[in-house]
Amino acid sequence: MSALLKDSYNRPIRDLRVSLTDRCNFRCFYCLPHGEPPIAPKEQMLSYEEIEYICEIFVELGIEKIRLTGGEPMMRRDIETNIGKLAKLKLKGLLDLALTTNGYFLPDRAMGLKQAGLDRITISLDSLKRNVFKQMTGVDVLDRVLQGIEAAKNAGLQPIKINAVIVRGHNEDEVADFAAFAREHDVKMRFIEFMPLDSGHDWSRADVYSGREIREAINERFPLVPIDVARGSETSSRYRFADGGPGEIGIIAPVSEPFCGACSRIRLTADGQIRTCLFSTVEHSLRDVVRSGATRGEIIDFIEAVVLKKEPRHYINDPGFVTPSRTMSFIGG
Ligand code: SAM
């Protein structure tokens, strides 16, 4: 059994999200509406060797799940090789290697990801209507993403999760249609509340279509039954269809139903900063420590000390809430 990474509130840290790049080929209005800021110099970014070394240390410290994200992780060159190396950490205690993607590159590359050793995939899909998809993501590629979902299924990257951020005035009328999609395609549909992590700083509480509203909208057409498993550190509350239909529903409601008490997550940005919460206002440069020539023991001491600084909870609902300076595309959602 590996050493256990624990924060100062006794929460075990088991889940590492690694951002492979800040770059993205979509312009989702709730994330990167004004396009990418200037590309950071390459030397500021962690190399694949550094990512592999750091991940190996994290696995030694008890990390069981690694999720690769971004930006759009598939925009980084040759992620299949990186996935192949990270998959070897399964011999050292890693249980689950996953990827979150906008799906654009999957029609051609899903099979290669599976062959490289990826276990699971989460694909973002904010609308089933071509015009709304284009309006929300800034790109007119709904058909291609749908093909990507099919390709991921055919490649055996199951169970496939589909993420939809529901924003009032944009796609809330599609919630039950997404549930129908989950049934038709036998996928896990996950609905996410809009969080104040948009680079345009246009987030408003009034735009948040709440977890409760999502549940009600689905229940009207497809009655749901809570899945009777301990939620543990999962972000979503999970439901199955009462009629036994295929697929599953997950509702992620960090704004209206925070779940920080069971958080097991920690994040590594593409430029090597540890973030202990999506809403952290401080970062800790693991890159600088690794590049300073620190020994493995010193790197472990640094990680353990940073984990002890993990925030007890996010403060979205407090009057003094400060939006993090980096947005979702930099933090790694
Ligand atoms: N490019 C990949 C993708 O599209 O899935 C991975 C990175 S993206 C930042 C990860 C997830 O964060 C996506 O499902 C996206 O919809 C979600 N996301 C981004 N900004 C968000 C926000 N302000 N509120 C809620 N979810 C957000």
| Mean pLDDT computed over 188-204 | 91
Separation of alpha carbons 242 and 245, rounded Å: 7
Separation of alpha carbons 280 and 267, rounded Å: 10
Q: State if residue 195 touches ligand 1 by the CB under 6 angstroms criterion.
A: yes
- Ligand 1 pocket test, pick from 19, 25, 30 with the greatest ligand atom count within 8 Å of Cβ, gives 30
- 118 and 90 in contact (C-beta within 8 Å)? no
Assess whether pLDDT exceeds 50 at residue 1: no
Assess whether pLDDT exceeds 80 at residue 236: yes
Q: What is the pLDDT of residue 200?
A: 80
Lowest mean pLDDT across 136-145, 204-213, 254-263? 254-263
DSSP classification of residue 240: E
Closest protein CA for atom 11 of ligand 1: 333
Q: State if residue 165 touches ligand 1 by the CB under 6 angstroms criterion.
A: yes
Q: What is the pLDDT of residue 331?
A: 78
Q: State if residue 278 touches ligand 1 by the CB under 6 angstroms criterion.
A: no
Assess whether pLDDT exceeds 60 at residue 74: yes
Separation of alpha carbons 294 and 314, rounded Å: 32
Q: How many CA atoms lie within 13 A of 25 on its CB side?
A: 13
Decide which of 47 and 35 is more confident: 47
